[in-house]
Amino acid sequence: MITVNEHYSKLQASYLFVTIARKIKDFQEQHPDVDLIKLGIGDVTKPLPSACIDAFKKGVEEMADEKSFRGYGPEQGYSFLREAIARNDFRDLGIEAEDIFISDGAKCDTGNFQELFSTNSRVAIPDPVYPVYVDTNVMAGRSGVWKDGRYEGLHYLEANSENAFIPAPLNEKVDLIYLCFPNNPTGQVASHDQLARWVEYARENKALILFDAAYETFIRDDSLPRSIYEIPGAREVAVEFRSFSKTAGFTGTRCAFTVVPRECRAYTSDGEAVNLQPMWNRRHSTKFNGVSYPVQRAAEAVYSPEGKKQVRELSDYYLGNAAIIRKNMEALGFTCIGGENSPYIWVDGRRDSWDFFDLLLSAGVVVTPGSGFGRCGEGYIRISAFNDREKVLAAMERIKSSLA
């Protein structure tokens, strides 16, 4: 008899996006002439930078010619891309091309990495959270059942106004820690000192940090760390995930990478250190056959002089939207975080998240209710800056008049 992985039955239906979709549908049926403005999704709206498009096209041309055609490439990614990343993103941080694994997305990588660890690892997950970290650990059997809005057996790192949405290490012992800065959904960014406390915790407790830096490109404050490897000692205890999705508009093109430093380690049950890089290399090359050649060429172009300029313009544009959103929401008396080194603005609605969602929907603006990201998101909404400037301005006018 073929039996199923019953851990899947613990998973909660994606209540958040299903409910949002249903509410939007109901609203549109009742108000067919309202053109809704969507500031809810975590997807970019601007096209790929022209430097990437040119390199992408050239890559396609090479595939058309027998002399330059390429079949399977290295599973870990072409060295032209791994080297460009090491040189540009991790200069002076002790990270080299061999530490970098190219993939088709940070979603897959943050979801897959937990495979390297035993089922009884104790997992710490932020609340509110990007749901991939939670669900993949539930599927793997690292949680108990869903009860009162949380999975039993997981350790929740509560982010709230008391800790400025940056959870500090717990007093209890955990083995695997997920952190994301700049954060989705809160837009908050951890300082050097705050990350250093986590690195110290991981070193003392022989734990591992999985650091999601998908929004690194939005950091403008030079005092904030862009990579966890800016913290001394992090290379032994942290894996970092990055993506071209939000940086350069690759959400539909697919290219990302994971950094697993040579020094990074976990342990056998006898306490013997095991390097994670060969393990991830084995996992990645067994289950993945590489990102397409033209896409890797397009990603490489992000690091060309033209590409750097264009990518900067892209993130400046979204950050301009974010500043407008934050300024307007604050002018209406709401306390906000994020939106400064992040494309997300986390707004204290001073009421139930869904009530606020409904109110803004009736004004013609779609946002995301914070409660959908975890219990600590109750009372908040997330507003995304990924949209056109005119739409953002129009949305702010609609919100203003509906709250007046």
Ligand X SMILES: *Cc1c(COP(=O)(O)O)cnc(C)c1O
Find where tokens 């040119």 sit.
54
Q: Nearest approach, Cβ of 397 to ligand X (angstroms)?
A: 28
Query: Smaller CB distance to ligand X: residue 364 or 370?
Result: 370
Show binding-site residues for pyridoxal 5'-phosphate.
Answer: 72, 106-107, 130, 184, 215, 243-245, 254, 289
101: enclosing H helix or E strand: strand 100-103
Rule CB under 6 A: say whether 113 interacts with ligand X: no
Taking contact as CB under 6 A, which single stretch among the options 53-61, 92-100, 102-110, 166-174 is the one that binds ligand X?
102-110
Instruction: Round to whole Å and give the CA distance between 277 and 98.
Output: 9
**CB-CB neighbours of 281 under 10 Å:** 16
> Among residues 364 and 369, whose Cβ is nearest to ligand X?
369
Q: CA–CA separation, 56 vs 300, rounded Å? A: 10
Token pair, residue 16, equals 């958040």
Stretch that binds ligand X, among 88-96, 120-128, 159-167, 242-250 (CB under 6 A): 242-250
Task: Choose, by CB under 6 A, the member of 89, 99, 212, 300 that binds ligand X.
Answer: 212
99 or 104: whose CB is closer to ligand X?
Answer: 104
Residue number closest to ligand X, CB atom: 105
Residue 240 touches ligand X, criterion: CB under 6 A:
no
Burial class (CB in 10 A: 0-12, 13-18, 19+), 92: exposed
Pick one of 246, 284, 297, 398: the residue that binds ligand X (CB under 6 A).
Answer: 246
CA distance 311 to 141: 40
List the interface residues with ligand X, window 19-78 (CB under 6 A): 42
Please say which residue, 257 or 399, places its beta carbon nearer to ligand X.
257
What are the backbone dihedrals phi and psi of residue 74, each rounded to the nearest 5 degrees, phi first?
-65, 135
105 binds ligand X (CB under 6 A): yes
Smallest CA-to-CA distance from 74 within 102, 111, 108 is with 102
Q: Which residue has the tokens 């041309």?
A: 61
Does 322 contact ligand X by CB under 6 A?
no
Please identify, using beta-carbon distances, which residue of 128 and 261 lies nearer to ligand X. 128
CB of 136 to ligand X, least distance (A): 12
DSSP 403: H
256 binds ligand X (CB under 6 A): yes
Q: Order of strands, edge to edge, in the sheet holding 368-369?
A: 335-338, 344-348, 380-384, 368-369
The single residue among 196, 214, 266, 363 that binds ligand X, judged by CB under 6 A, is: 214
Interface with ligand X (CB under 6 A), residue from 180, 228, 363, 392: 180
DSSP three-state, residue 156: strand
* Least CB distance to ligand X at residue 246 (A): 6
Contacting residues for 92 by C-beta, under 8 A, at least 6 apart = none
**Counting runs of H as helices and runs of E as strands, what totals does the chain give?**
12, 17
Smallest distance from the beta carbon of 75 to ligand X, in angstroms? 17
Q: Which residues bind ligand X (CB under 6 A)?
A: 42, 105-107, 130, 180, 184, 212, 214, 243, 245-246, 251, 256
